[in-house]
Amino acid sequence: MDGLTRNLSPGERATADQRLALIEDVERAWPYNQGVLADSVCEDVVLDRLGEAWVGMRADRAYLLWGNGRLVPVEPDALLIGAAVQSTMPDQATSECDRCHRVGVVGAAAVACPRNVVPLLLCTNCADQVEPDLLTTGVC
């Protein structure tokens, strides 16, 4: 080992390759709503969720990172991600907008981040302002 570098063992290399592949799979499966991150408040919410200590999170899985510490496993497939966002969305009438904290949301703008997807609950006004590519609404 020289300095801060060393060669990875075959097992370590395989683990790193699997994790990098998962990151790429999630980002390829869910390319939507990246423009929402141009809004500083939405970006802060996403960064806060990514920085949380998620109990039960495994490095070899992808998850939806909902507010209030709700972690939902998800497969890196667009249809499965969309279905998971829709089926696990909290009650829209009583939920707070992640951007302005107004009660009553119209849907979730899910954003892929390294390996995970962060759904942002948005009210009508905030959805109009940040203009998500895809706003997922709850189950009717």
Residue ranges covered by each domain of the chain? 33-130
Does residue 91 contact residue 115 with C-beta atoms inside 8 Å?
no
Does residue 121 contact residue 105 with C-beta atoms inside 8 Å?
yes
DSSP state of 124: H
Q: Could you tell me which residue, 105 or 77, shows the higher pLDDT?
A: 105
Does residue 91 contact residue 97 with C-beta atoms inside 8 Å?
no
The mean pLDDT of 68-84, rounded to a whole number, is 91
Confidence band of 1 (pLDDT split at 50, 70, 90):
very low
The mean pLDDT of 15-41, rounded to a whole number, is 83
Which region among 7-11, 57-61, 74-78, 111-115 has the lowest average model confidence (pLDDT)?
A: 7-11
Confidence band of 5 (pLDDT split at 50, 70, 90):
low
Give the model's pLDDT for residue 139.
Answer: 63
